[in-house]
Structure 1
Amino acid sequence: MRLVTLFTAVALGLAACGSSQPITLANPTVPEAYQARTDTGPNGEPIQIPAVRAAYLNERNQRQQVPYNGPEAPGTIVVDPYARVLYHVQPGGQAMRYGVAVGRAGTGYAGTATIARKATWPSWRPTDNMIRTQPDLYAQFAGGLSGGMHNPLGSRALYLYEGGRDTYYRIHGTMDPSSIGKATSAGCIRLFNQDIMDLFGQVSTGATVHVRSEAESVRLEGPMTETPEGYVVPAGQPQTAMAAMPSQQLTDPYAVTTVSTPASAPVTTISPVESAVQ
């Protein structure tokens, strides 16, 4: 009886504080490009790719065609780790712009490279140096990690080479869509899985990729400032906080707590396994 009285009081109290109309929780529309889809996995199995939450799709993060003022020729991919965007240059002074997340390795290289390899649902293995210097973190992955929804490279990966040598710089998907637009502790350049799939289908091996230096970024994009949420916007632009989805809707379909190594031993998934990927 006391519980019934308590719940009744709470309900009446809530009704007294607001409108008498039913409360409707916000449910922003997710664009078609970021809806859930089914893909074919590394062994021919179907893989369900969840929709990207609307809360992660701010204006700078969404794929969109924009004017392009850089000197690169159409067909070139331009990565700007400092403005946290990637351009696929189009004819007529246009480019398709994608939001990216940038790990430590993402600012460790600047220059012009070539896509020497493309992989669908790529496998991953930490470098020998990573295993040697941080065995507690990386030794469990020494045998490699197969491709799939548990893999930090996500649905696709592009591998950059310069002068025939691997730069260890990767453009790839992610299992953490909340990171897009932000600086992360590890990895190279991540896109939403839906975006890397779009880009992957448009470029071929041999395509040119230019990674901007910080000086180039400032010259072409202007100075950036970081918002309290961790995104970057042009300096001086009003910083509008992204509206969070209601807590009742915050169950993340991407959340993965364990993966299986080739020996089938469960291990905890942690973001640093995305660094210096092979």
Structure 2
Amino acid sequence: MQNPSTDPRMPAGRGAPRYAVARPPSNKLFLGMFYSIIPKETVAFHEDYKPGTIVVRHRERRLYYVLGNGQAIRYAIAVGREGAAWSGTSVVSNKREWPDWRPTPSILARQPDLPRHVEGGPNNPLGARALYLGQTLYRIHGTNEPWMIGEEASSGCIRMTNEDVIDLYNRTRLGATVVVQQ
């Protein structure tokens, strides 16, 4: 197992921009370029949602893609930190591959030194795919910080590993219902 502080594939910690891939905290297991993350799995799901619905459970830090017939695919996620989390129902209004990122005014108020625009790619905070929720600033998206999965880490968006968000992106249609539960 490589030590993340000496792994040449990781960017240098000193002076590295905050929006680039950073080092994982020492309490997260690092295995090469992959992190110890809970894999997606098909699980029993007996709630009354139509197939194709996405159900986010903030407290569980899990997202369910409803398959129907009493089943769903369960993914591990990162959720909004205290004060930034939200709940409600929305729809997938747009989908993007390797989307560009522009920090919101509230993010810039907390971190004014961030760039105003980051092109899509591996160093982009939105990761490999993004599902846009209605007319809000919220998204379900990938991340360039996979060790944050399972944490309250975002400004309200739902983060997934890039592998998982690609899988969800490929399954989800525009107009799909998204239910976010606290």
Q: Shared fold by TM > 0.5?
A: yes
Question: Partners of 1:107 and 1:67 in 2: how far apart?
Answer: 30
Question: Partners of 2:141 and 2:107 in 1: how far apart?
Answer: 20
Residues 91 and 106 of structure 1: CA distance in aligned 2, closer, same or farther (over 3 Å): farther
Is the helix fraction higher in 1 or 2? 1
Alignment correspondent of 2:136? 167
Alignment correspondent of 1:209? 178
- Structure 1 residue 110 corresponds to structure 2 residue 87: yes
Question: The residue matched to 2:151 in structure 1 has which SS?
Answer: coil
Alignment correspondent of 1:151? 124
Q: Cα offset for 1:171?
A: 0.4
Question: Partners of 1:106 and 1:151 in 2: how far apart?
Answer: 24
Question: The residue matched to 2:60 in structure 1 has which SS?
Answer: coil
- Structure 1 residue 75 corresponds to structure 2 residue 59: no
User: Which AA in structure 2 matches 1:85?
Assistant: R
Question: Partners of 1:194 and 1:63 in 2: how far apart?
Answer: 10
Question: Partners of 2:56 and 2:83 in 1: how far apart?
Answer: 9
User: Which AA in structure 1 matches 2:63?
Assistant: L
Give the total of aligned pairs. 152
Whichever of the two has the greater Rg, that structure is 1
**Gaps in structure 1 of 5+ consecutive residues:** 1-24, 26-49, 215-278
Match of 1:96 among 54, 73, 79: 73
- Deviation track 1:218-246 (CA, whole Å, cap 9, x = no partner) reads xxxxxxxxxxxxxxxxxxxxxxxxxxxxx
- Structure 1 residue 52 corresponds to structure 2 residue 29: no
TM-score, structure 2 normalization:
0.75
Alignment correspondent of 1:84? 61
Question: Partners of 2:104 and 2:66 in 1: how far apart?
Answer: 32
8 A Cα contact 1:118 1:159, kept in partner:
yes
Match of 2:43 among 61, 66, 71: 66
User: Which AA in structure 2 matches 1:145?
Assistant: V
Alignment correspondent of 1:181? 150
**Gaps in structure 2 of 5+ consecutive residues:** 2-31
Match of 1:141 among 103, 115, 137: 115
8 A Cα contact 2:85 2:156, kept in partner:
no
Q: Cα offset for 1:104?
A: 2.3
TM-score, structure 1 normalization:
0.51
8 A Cα contact 1:85 1:97, kept in partner:
yes
User: Which AA in structure 2 matches 1:153?
Assistant: L
Question: The residue matched to 1:167 in structure 2 has which SS?
Answer: coil
Question: The residue matched to 1:75 in structure 2 has which SS?
Answer: coil
User: Which AA in structure 1 matches 2:131?
Assistant: L
Question: Partners of 2:56 and 2:98 in 1: how far apart?
Answer: 22
Q: Cα offset for 1:70?
A: 2.1
Q: Cα offset for 1:169?
A: 1.4
Q: Cα offset for 1:81?
A: 1.2
Question: Partners of 1:185 and 1:168 in 2: how far apart?
Answer: 12
Residues 99 and 71 of structure 1: CA distance in aligned 2, closer, same or farther (over 3 Å): same
